Amino acid sequence: MVELVDTLGLEPSAARRGGSTPSIPTNQNKMRKKSFLFNFLLCLHIPLISLDNEFVFSKYQNLKNYEIKQKSFCKKRSPLSRIIWLEDFITPSLSESDWSYEISNGFIHRGRYISGWGNEELQYYQEGKGANFTNDNLFIENGFLKIQPIFHKDGFKEFKYTSARINTKNKLSFNPSTRLTFCFKAPKGTGAWPAFWLMPSNSFDWPQGGEIDILEHRGRISNVVSSALHFGKSPSEKSTLVGEVSIPEYVNFQEYFHSITFEWKDNLLNFYLDEAEPYWQIDSESKFFKEFGFPFNSSFYLIINVAVGGIYDQSRVDSKAFCMDKFCSNKSDPDHARFIVDWIEYSNIED
């Protein structure tokens, strides 16, 4: 077990495949579009094999519930008797006992500074300050956690964008035999890259301990989100499994709240959107784990962030899509440029 050097207090496990979300190679775009069409017409769940050991599963989900006009399609809350930890954001203060900030535009790995978090990301992550432990990029308002990347026309330090990234490392851990659910709304605009994801509580060189990306979203595509698993021996000898789910545009992720649930059992992973059957499930006996094994039966910690640019959407960025100041005064509806989290629930799985 080798621990990354972390002299700046940054997130060492960010030395990943190159992102907090799955990076689909450009030469697979035609194959992925074809899969979306098959799934739309036939409701199949078809894996596509890429040349760099990356496998994509796509599914289209259209629930009867989506025809009912409402602001939130999030799943029902669990009974209190099953809840292990709940984050409701009912006060304007972010809990310092649960959360820590990650700062800068990169990290130190084996004495070398890796900029852009290894993903060509453009943002500088700011620290939490003051009694509320928040900042211009991350704050709690009216019972919602809001993360807003800000475009700085005149620059911030040497960067054009700032944002926020928080984690529960050494404070809260998450383990199998549980469910982890997020009720959220995604930011709108090319270049916005929000994510909920898990990294191993113990230190490993990425991706030996595995990485579980529960949610990732491209800001220019309003009705698609994805999940991913990363695992292997090294960044050049690994596998990536991606599960994508699309929904009707009229109930897209940027205008309405949806929930994503990661159900975690020993040797079995299920991913759910709203009140539905899993859009993606995979177990340790799958052929995909024969080469590198299944590293997901251990303890992990949670990360929430919004990146700007990066390889997840082929470095596309539209600066006009982002807030220009802490008030987001350039937007008629500032919340459209924010990653908004209503609640997070960590619960036991009922028998």
Please check whether residue 260 lies inside any domain of the structure. Answer: yes
Please check whether residue 6 lies inside any domain of the structure. Answer: no
SS3 at position 268? strand
Please check whether residue 254 lies inside any domain of the structure. Answer: yes
Query: Tell me: the pLDDT tens digits for 297-322?
Result: 999 999 999 999 999 999 999 999 99
Average pLDDT over residues 224-232: 97
Task: Give the bridge partners for 182, in sequence order.
Answer: 260, 344
What CATH number does the domain containing 52 carry? 2.60.120.200
CA distance 318 to 190: 5
The burial class, CB within 10 Å (0-12 / 13-18 / 19+), for 297 is middle
Whether 13 and 199 have beta carbons less than 8 Å apart is answered as yes
The chain-wide mean pLDDT, for the chain, equals: 87
Indicate if the pLDDT at residue 235 is higher than 90.
no
Whether 279 and 243 have beta carbons less than 8 Å apart is answered as yes
Please check whether residue 179 lies inside any domain of the structure. Answer: yes
1 against 180, higher pLDDT: 180
Question: Could you give the angle at the alpha carbon of 225 between the alpha carbons of 140 and 176, nearest 5°?
Answer: 75
Please check whether residue 53 lies inside any domain of the structure. Answer: yes
37 sits in which H/E element: helix 29-42
Query: Tell me: the pLDDT tens digits for 54-89?
Result: 899 999 999 999 999 999 999 999 999 999 999 999
47 sits in which H/E element: strand 46-49
Please check whether residue 258 lies inside any domain of the structure. Answer: yes
Average pLDDT over residues 136-159: 97
What is the tally of structural domains in the chain? 1
Query: Which of 1-5, 152-156, 178-182, 280-284 has the least mean pLDDT?
Result: 1-5
Cα-trace Rg, the chain: 19
Whether 147 and 186 have beta carbons less than 8 Å apart is answered as no
- Please give the structure tokens belonging to residue 51: 């040349």
Parent domain of 286: 12-348
Confidence of residue 109 (pLDDT cuts 50, 70, 90): confident
CA distance 138 to 339: 9
Q: Tokens 């082929």 label which residue?
A: 314
Indicate if the pLDDT at residue 26 is higher than 50.
no
Confidence of residue 52 (pLDDT cuts 50, 70, 90): low
Q: What is the pLDDT, as a whole number, of residue 53?
A: 78
Please check whether residue 60 lies inside any domain of the structure. Answer: yes
Confidence of residue 110 (pLDDT cuts 50, 70, 90): confident
Please check whether residue 48 lies inside any domain of the structure. Answer: yes
